[in-house]
A and B are shown apart, each in its own frame.
Chain A
Amino acid sequence: MNEKKIEAPLLEVKHLKKMFPVKSGILSREKSSIKAVDDVSFSLMPRETLGVVGESGCGKSTMGRSVLRLIEPTSGEIIYKGKDFMKTSGSELRKMRSDMQIIFQDPYASLNPRMTVGEIIAEPLNIQKKYSSKDEVREHVLKIMSVVGLNQKYYNRYPHEFSGGQRQRIGIARSIVLEPSLIVCDEPVSALDVSIQSQVLNLLTDLQDSMGMAYIFISHNLSVIKHISDRVMVMYLGHVVEMADKKELFDNPSHPYTQALLYSIPLPERHSKRKRILLQGDLPSPANPPSGCVFHTRCFMAKDICKTEKPELKDIGNGHMCACHFCEKCGANSLKEKM
């Protein structure tokens, strides 16, 4: 790849919002809406892996699907390879979709039980009408199967005959068969055994090395995110609270929520002396988010300003973005002193 291509971002997402209307009562009048994704902006370089982390219900998956317009975003801009993806429709949209794919969390629900492995992997090729003859499709599918480490004799088997790890390989094969530039991985390993997780993760990194696609890697597992990401985005209640390079984020977490998350990673030592930050309470309802900073209800640093004023996502140096009124003060260094 030449220099110029690396300079231009593959994907730019600006102010992406997704709201689900909540209907209530017999009259089904729209009363309120759940802000699943609220004003998310980021950009993604080619060959980059952006890890997206957050607890359940924070809008990670909705964000990933909105980027692909599998869920139609309420508002926002998605610029993919210089084209406004939000404004495309019809056959143009279908054509662009061949360049952006998704890997799902549940390897049991994501494969059509009526199709053989070969048919599943060939489906994107057939949808996009890449080849005119069946033999060419088959040849391509067999190649992809060996790339993802599936024995080619499974071509005519049905998905229910496979284990979770192998099914996830089939899902990966389906997503790479069109050679996309972007793959949204929606918790691709969280449904798998730990031993299989590493195999699948290594397969994903190998494929990235050889084919050069970018990943948006959604997970709630920080160790997985640490292993695979180049950059990490932390989400809370539909908002991006912090975004930085992986090393910077793990070394110097600046948002109180990120700190709490990082301190929740269990350590393998038995008598670890590390203190933990315990968050109080539950995730507030996204239908009725707290005023000001969405995290102030559970934040150990919260002051009066947090209840009234919403903190902007601002650069605190070296592209480290953080949305907190006190992120300079509560950087990891100051935290260490406190503990």
Chain B
Amino acid sequence: MSKKIFGFFNKQKQFEKDVLENNMQYSSFYGDSFKQLKKNKIAMFCAGIIIILILIAIFAPLIAPYDPTYQDYSAVLAEPSMAHPFGTDEYGRDILSRIIYGSRVSISIGIVAQVVASLVGVTLGSIAGYYGGKIDSVISRIMEIFQAFPDLIFAMAIMTFMGKGVVNLFIALGLLTWVRTARMIRGSVMQLKEKEYIEASRASGATTYWIIMKGLIPNCLSTIIVLVTLGIPNAIMYEASLSFLGIGIVPPTPSWGNMISAAQTFINYRPLYSIMPGVAIMITVIAFNIFGDGLRDALDPKLKN
């Protein structure tokens, strides 16, 4: 069979071997994107902050100077000092230690909630978008039901229904955000599936799985990444809001949200107590946002030099 091609090939001008070998280093899509990302200094700086935050969360027991639940009644609402850099709270607990431990809750909730939301959202969104018709109608109606409730009230309802706790918070925030991912992916898939390169794959005999995995998802990737990286700070904010309202993380466990909630009583007397958890939230949210933007730019081949 191949003979007919090679017959023609032999007639063609042969390309020089050395040119070939010099110009054909292996490069993958993600390798190229990473190179591109490395050129973006601000994004790399934010990536550094994110890595530091994650390390702080993992090694919290080694870094924190005190146990976050240790109550020192000789130093209630202490001023910032060498012993307590940000002071202490109304039970005499070290605020710095509580912020360090609070990063565990915030970051894990942000990431886990987004991973759950993306898995569910991408799967359901691409199925709805690709198949269309009745499957799409069913999934879209479910999404509309979820979207019919105001976000915070919906999360509050789930938390009240299931009870407080970290795992329930994962579920609540996952349920809250998967719809957004699914909607975006559904839209992109509906648009992408009409493209001729998808038709070309089908003309070569590709299965639906192949088309979704090789044709559609890679082209939705920048959308997914933007959604995830913008979703993580969002989830962190929701966690803070819910904890602030007293239905997220239950007090002895430190979280940035419930710290701000507790601190509001003392905001005039000990401003650092409420400012520092807020600064922690702000740094995390900004770092994820800027890093997400940089990642999106790097993953878009059209922006490549």
Contact = CB atoms under 8 A, between A and B. Distances in A.
Interface of A: 65, 68, 70, 93-98, 100-102, 104, 106, 109-116, 120, 123-124, 127-128, 143-144, 146-147, 149, 151-153, 155-156, 158, 160, 171, 174-176, 178-179, 206-207, 210-212
Contacts of B6: 143
B23 A153 contact: yes
A68 B203 contact: yes
A128 B1 CA distance: 16
B19 interface: yes
B202 A95 contact: no
A115 B216 CA distance: 12
Given A147-B5, A147-B9, A109 B19 contact: no
Given A102-B203, A112-B215, A123-B201, A211 B196 contact: no
Contacts of B8: 147, 206-207, 210-211
A179 B204 contact: no
A158 B11 CA distance: 28
Contacts of A151: 15
Contact of B205 (A95, A149, A179): A95
A211 B200 contact: no
Contact of B5 (A143, A153, A155): A143
A127 B5 contact: no
Contacts of B20: 152-153
B112 to A, nearest CB: 28
B218 interface: yes
B74 to A, nearest CB: 62
Interface in B23-42: 23-27, 29
The 9 A-B residue pairs with the shortest CB-CB distance in the complex, in nearest-first order: A94-B205, A210-B8, A153-B23, A124-B204, A97-B205, A110-B196, A114-B218, A112-B197, A104-B196
Contact of A110 (B2, B197, B205): B197
Interface stretch (B126-134, B206-214, B236-244, B273-281): B206-214
Nearest to B6: A143
Contacts of A102: 199-200, 203
Contacts of B304: 158
Nearest to A113: B301
B33 to A, nearest CB: 10
Interface of B: 1-2, 4-9, 11-15, 19-20, 23-27, 29, 195-197, 199-207, 210, 214-215, 218-219, 221, 301-302, 304
Nearest to A98: B205
**Which secondary structure dominates where chain A touches chain B?**
helix
B24 A156 contact: yes
A147 B13 CA distance: 9
Given A110-B199, A175-B200, 20 more contacts: A70-B203, A93-B205, A94-B205, A101-B203, A102-B203, A109-B195, A110-B200, A111-B197, A112-B215, A114-B301, A124-B205, A127-B205, A146-B14, A147-B8, A147-B9, A149-B12, A179-B1, A179-B2, A210-B7, A211-B5
A149 B11 CA distance: 12
Nearest to B15: A152
25 contacts: A94-B206, A95-B205, A102-B203, A109-B195, A110-B195, A110-B197, A110-B199, A113-B302, A114-B218, A114-B219, A115-B29, A115-B218, A123-B201, A123-B204, A127-B210, A128-B205, A143-B9, A147-B5, A149-B12, A152-B15, A153-B23, A155-B24, A174-B200, A179-B1, A212-B4
A101 B218 CA distance: 24
A160 B7 contact: no
A211 B14 CA distance: 19
A128 B200 CA distance: 13
Contacts of A156: 24-27
Contacts of B26: 156
B203 A153 contact: no
B219 A113 contact: yes
Contacts of B19: 153
Nearest to B20: A152
A106 B5 contact: no
B302 A100 contact: no
A127 to B, nearest CB: 5
A211 B4 contact: yes
